[in-house]
């Protein structure tokens, strides 16, 4: 898979987190822990980014930006899940809302991945 396809796949996979986190907020449960989510090299994109073909692009500003934004995305997702699992549904939902931390982290990461994909 080329870099454009890898990034496209990563955008789709990270988009699925919205549904997973929303479900956790609604039900107060999840099949994954906040501790597991905050580790940014367990997902396929994180593995590719840190250990796979993406490492060929370490000198690229796109690589560095995506690496940092991806790390932040996982930290914010873990925080949302922690809130959801501890019964703080309103706080978790605010993070997922239009001006929320998760929404901003997701949008920034998606934009950075799309910029990288366009430049590749």
DSSP 48-102: HHHHSGGGGGTTSHHHHHHHHHHHHHHHHHHHHHHHHHTT-HHHHHHHHSTTSHH
Residue 61 sits in a domain whose CATH number is 1.20.120.30
- Cα distance between residue 16 and residue 103, in whole Å: 13
- Give the pLDDT confidence of 46-90 residue by residue, as tens digits: 998 999 888 999 999 999 999 999 999 999 999 999 999 999 999
- The number of folded domains in the chain is 1
12 vs 37, which has greater pLDDT?
37
Mean pLDDT of 79-106: 96
Residue 117 has pLDDT above 80, yes or no: yes
Mean pLDDT of 86-98: 96
Question: For position 13, what pLDDT does the model report?
Answer: 83
At residue 15 the predicted structure's pLDDT band, cuts being 50, 70 and 90, is confident
Parent domain of 59: 3-119
Please, what is the average pLDDT of the chain? 93
Highest-confidence segment of 2-16, 32-46, 77-91: 77-91
Cβ contact 25:60 at 8 Å: no
Q: Give the predicted TM-score (pTM) of the model.
A: 0.91
């Amino acid at each position: 898979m080329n870099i454009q396809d890898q990034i496209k796949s990563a955008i789709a996979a990270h988009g699925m987190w919205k549904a997973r986190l929303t479900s956790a907020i609604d039900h107060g449960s999840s099949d994954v822990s906040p501790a597991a989510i905050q580790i940014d090299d367990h997902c396929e994109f994180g593995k590719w980014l840190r250990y796979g073909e993406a490492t060929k692009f370490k000198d690229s500003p796109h690589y560095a930006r995506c690496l940092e934004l991806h790390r932040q995305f996982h930290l914010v997702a873990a925080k949302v899940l922690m809130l959801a699992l501890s019964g703080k549904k309103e706080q978790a939902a605010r993070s997922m809302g239009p001006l929320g931390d998760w929404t901003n982290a997701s949008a920034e990461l998606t934009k950075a991945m799309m910029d990288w994909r366009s430049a590749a």
